[in-house]
Structure 1
């Protein structure tokens, strides 16, 4: 298990997070640029090593009823990946994502090798995969698009 100081060092390596002292020696870290009402990425990091990372918008992650994931026993790699995914889930759309997606009914970010981001969008009963402004693929169903993305090494943050 990582110590409180080790966890703080890892979390503070993300310059987009702002440290907020709370009671009993605990620390929260906020992402002020969040497009969601939620701004807290790390919640109640405690000197005993316990704490939580917000994962309410992450798929495939087990969360509590507040959308939090316990990080007590996380390794450095796990903690770093989880904090990065949490920030990404709260981040504003890039200009190319906004240009491509606009106000569609369903969209998802998928992250792949070398942190490449693809956008999966449902429009006119089809599923489109975009890399920036470029259309990569089109599919008839969500399942087909999901299978393709997973096959190519992508996952939802």
Structure 2
């Protein structure tokens, strides 16, 4: 587990974040460039190593995040901490796009077709218009499809 000081050093390597001290020797890190009302990226980082990162509704962190969109980073290593802070900043700096979704057709050897669609920050797999699975990243969705013997249609 990283120390409080190590976590601060990693978080402060992101120049977009501003440190603000709060009660009980805890600190918050704000992203003033947020496109949303929410500006706190790292919340209540405590000298005991506990703290939270706001990831909203990013599916990538669905299993870790509470209903408030916060992930506890107490046991995060350097790589994981850098990744989640980067993802949080990206999340708060992306405008929701109303463009057409990305759609790919994947086919099995038996000829079964599935559609992989990106919309609303998630990668969804559909069979005959019915939602089968949802993933937070394209890589996870593609791995799932390949494990089941599907290939991208040309």
Q: TM > 0.5 between the two? A: yes
1:18-97 paired onto structure 2 within 5 Å: 18-61=18-61, 62-93=64-95
Which residue number corresponds to residue 9 of structure 1?
9
More helix by share: 1
Aligned length: 115
Q: Deviations over 1:100-122 (max 9, x none)?
A: x5x44xxxxxxxxxxxxxxxx42
Bigger CA radius of gyration: 2
* Cα gap change, 1:141 to 1:85, in 2 (>3 Å): closer
TM-score, normalised with respect to structure 2: 0.65
* Cα gap change, 1:6 to 1:141, in 2 (>3 Å): closer
Which residue number corresponds to residue 111 of structure 1?
none
Which residue number corresponds to residue 116 of structure 1?
none
2:76 and 2:55 map into 1 onto residues whose CA distance is: 14
| Aligned CA-pair RMSD | 2.6
Q: Is the 8 A contact 1:25 1:47 kept in 2?
A: yes
Q: Is the 8 A contact 2:103 2:116 kept in 1?
A: no
Q: Deviations over 1:49-97 (max 9, x none)?
A: 100001113113121121100000000001010000010011145xxxx
For residue 140 of structure 1, report the CA deviation from its aligned partner.
5.7
Q: Where in structure 1 do 4 or more consecutive aligned residues deviate above 4 Å? A: none
SS where residue 66 of structure 2 aligns? coil
SS where residue 57 of structure 1 aligns? coil
Unaligned runs of 5+ in 2: 105-113, 118-124, 127-133, 144-154
2:42 and 2:10 map into 1 onto residues whose CA distance is: 12
Unaligned runs of 5+ in 1: 105-120, 130-138, 153-157
